[in-house]
Amino acid sequence: MLPISLEFFPPKTAEGTDKLRAARQQLYALRPEFCSVTYGAGGSTHAGTFATVGEILAEGMEAASHFSCIGATRARVREQLAQLQAMGVKRLVALRGDLPSGYGIGGEFQHASELVEFIRAETGSHFRIEVACYPEMHPQARSPLADLEAFVRKVRAGADGAITQYFYNADAYFRFVDDVRGLGVAVPIVPGIMPITNSSQLLRFSDACGAEVPRWVRLRLQGFGDDVKSIRAFGQEVVADLCRRLIAGGAPAIHFYTMNQAPATLALCEALGRC
């Protein structure tokens, strides 16, 4: 059975924490390979990220902490790596990350490849390191080639695998994989999948991060207006078809961006015969 993994973000309220705990228990029925927890801009959710990772480990699941470096010092990163090792974490998603609004670049790292290299130098092979990649190009990249070269540097620095930004065009994923294979990169590249449950939220996210929503999908979603039931049914059909294409084309696993909700991911996995 094709492996899957799940992504959560650290809740900001007690109510959100309780809801995430309940969602996780439902999603564990999918037998994920691991669950990752995101890391806020400039490390702003550090405490919440590590706390959520600790809960997942205590629930008997493998947990991967996101770990960003922009604005960080080597001493601080070294301290946090030691904390994660002591917790029993064996996976990281290493990212450059974003700074909170209003801050300068700062810190001792400028690129995720530098973070990956530092983690390897400090901890050897203790961590399995995943990095991010962008089938439709990072929104801040100078060119498609520059984006590919930046990804290759992360892998050569010691990354074990990659998880993509979400996308809805399978051809973009397959072309990206072909391109990096042509550059000598052999690590697994796992497609990141975002269920469609809220059209306005999805379109806002996508415009901000550079993920393309195909015009026909965008128009159909807008045409549903506030009809949540139709949006979710259509979204499940679109994303399930995307996953089937990816699986048929040889994707090594699927990584679901759950948005801390269980129903959409469960429904997708059921449609794929994963439940």
- Interval 192-208: pLDDT, tens: 999 999 999 999 989 88
How does the average pLDDT of the chain come out, rounded? 93
Hey, what domains does the chain have and what are their CATH numbers? Answer: 4-271 (3.20.20.220)
Cα 46 → chain centroid? 17
pLDDT of residue 59: 98
Q: Mean pLDDT, to the nearest integer, of 141-168?
A: 96
pLDDT at 72: 87
Task: State the residue for tokens 């999948």.
Answer: 193
pLDDT grade, residue 103 (50/70/90)? low
Give the rounded percent of residues in the chain with a pLDDT score beyond 90. 84
Token digits for 143? 């060119």
For residues 127-148, give the mean pLDDT: 94
Predicted confidence band of residue 97 (pLDDT cuts 50, 70, 90): confident
Q: pLDDT digits over 209-226, tens only?
A: 889 999 999 999 999 999
pLDDT band at residue 159, thresholds of 50, 70 and 90? very high
Q: Strand (E) positions, the chain? A: 4-8, 35-37, 63-68, 91-95, 128-133, 161-164, 189-190, 192-193, 254-257
Rounded average pLDDT over 107-128: 95
The model's confidence at residue 140, banded by pLDDT at 50, 70 and 90, is confident
Q: In angstroms, rounded to a whole number, what is the distance separating the alpha carbons of residues 93 and 132?
A: 8
Task: Determine the pLDDT at residue 252.
Answer: 98
Active-site annotation holds for 7: yes
pLDDT in the model for residue 147 = 94
Q: Tell me the mean pLDDT in the region 3-12.
A: 96
User: Which pLDDT score, from 0 to 100, does residue 188 have?
Assistant: 98
At 106 the pLDDT is 61
CB distance 37 to 10 below 8 Å: yes
C-beta separation of 243 from 170 below 8 A: no
* CA gap 109, 113 in Å, rounded: 9
Give the C-alpha separation, 58 to 46, whole Å.
Answer: 18
Q: Where are the alpha helices (DSSP H) in 165-227?
A: 170-182, 199-209, 215-223
Q: Which strands make up the sheet holding 254-257, listed edge to edge? A: 189-190, 161-164, 128-133, 91-95, 63-68, 35-37, 4-8, 254-257, 192-193
* Cβ 69 vs Cβ 112: under 8 Å: yes
> Where do we find the tokens 């015009």?
215
- Confidence at residue 41, expressed as pLDDT on a 0 to 100 scale: 56
